Amino acid sequence: MANAELISELVRAHYLGDQRRFGNLLNQVIASESRAGHVRLAQRLRELRIEAEAAQESPARPTQLARAPRDLAHVLSVAYSDVKLSDLVLSPENRRALRRFVTEQRAAETLANHGLRPRRRLLLHGPPGCGKTMAAHALAGELRLPIIRVRLEVVFSRYLGETAATLTDIFAEASRVRGVYLFDEFDALGRTRLDDNDIGEVKRVVTTFLQLLDADDTDSVLVAATNVGATIDRALFRRFDDVLELPGPTPEQAAELLGRLLRQWGTRPDQQTLEATAGLSFADIREAVDDAHKETVLDGRDKPRPGEVREMLLARGARLS
């Protein structure tokens, strides 16, 4: 449960008729409940707020009241992140761009005093396993905001036909609850896997998404991530404040990641181990080291055998080809 002081303040705000304060406190309750893992309660409170606001906005329109707020519980998954930008191995340009993003977000108020808005819409593209999802979590961790993943696969499979309306609801939610909204693998939006009957629907969905991005006026951070940046409609690019490519690791970056991961055993990668990272993603390298770690633990050793990490890297590489 939310703490006693918060609840007392909430009640006080209600009796004083201080709507603004009530809204702020309610946001804190929702945040604290979702942090405590009470996801359903948090979701229910959000829905109640949406219902109440809808009723206030249009008291004379019963249709509005009759329409239950679309249930976003299956579409949004909320989590908290303690990932930091320094956890990512990045090119200097990408690190600078992400730092600037964080700096501007942190200084939102100062910028507002000068009529300026911080960057808040970010498009990340690049091959799988190279840090797109992780970068979104790092932004949330740095900004101490919840990371809210928009489950586009659900939006699409469950509500096709309602997809545009669901997207509209998601953007409305983003303006109520500040967070890092991650549209992961959002190429699902533009993918033409559907038969001819659905093409019109997909176009409508993409158009809606573009309009929502254009009109978006929230304080939330919107991150879209895709593996297929090269084929993505360029019209999308200019809607974002930053478009960053996160490519596969250079040999130096692979060495940096491997170096960090082996530090837990106080060892450094030798030349042959470094060479075994060729063609692997950051995620592959990470998983290979985890494989070696598991064998080590299961064999009751305190560090990997010489050459063990290299073996695991080669095994990962062999799986790819």
Ligand X SMILES: Nc1ncnc2c1ncn2[C@@H]1O[C@H](COP(=O)(O)OP(=O)(O)O)[C@@H](O)[C@H]1O
List interacting residues with Mg ion (CB under 5 A). 132-133
Q: Which uninterrupted H or E stretch holds 252? A: helix 251-262
Please count the other Cβ atoms lying within 10 Å of the Cβ belonging to residue 229. Answer: 20
Distance CA 108, CA 126 (A): 29
Q: Could you say whether residue 286 binds ligand X (CB under 6 A)?
A: yes
Distance CA 271, CA 204 (A): 53
Q: Near ligand X by CB under 6 A, which window of 18-26, 54-62, 96-104, 126-134?
A: 126-134
Pairing of strands 121-125, 242-245: parallel
Q: Could you say whether residue 255 binds ligand X (CB under 6 A)?
A: no
Between 49 and 293, name the residue whose CB sits nearer to ligand X. 293
Between 44 and 95, name the residue whose CB sits nearer to ligand X. 95
Taking alpha carbons only, the member of 261, 174, 176, 191 closest to residue 227 is 191
Q: What's the one-letter identity of residue 233?
A: D
Sign of torsion over alpha carbons 302, 306, 308, 313: positive
Q: Could you say whether residue 130 binds ligand X (CB under 6 A)?
A: yes
Which option in Mg ion, ligand X, none does residue 269 bind, with CB closer than 5 to 8 A by kind? none
Which residue in 283, 296, 311, 317 binds ligand X (CB under 6 A)?
Answer: 283
Q: Which of residues 170-229 bind ligand X (CB under 6 A)?
A: none
Which residue in 120, 121, 125, 132 binds ligand X (CB under 6 A)?
Answer: 132
Between 46 and 125, name the residue whose CB sits nearer to ligand X. 125
Q: Could you say whether residue 88 binds ligand X (CB under 6 A)?
A: yes
Contacts of 38 (CB under 8 A, 6+ apart): none
- Show the CA angle centred on residue 196, arms to residues 191 and 201, nearest 5°: 60
Which option in ligand X, Mg ion, none does residue 2 bind, with CB closer than 5 to 8 A by kind? none
Instruction: By CB under 6 A, name the binding residues for ligand X.
Output: 88-90, 128-134, 257, 282-283, 286
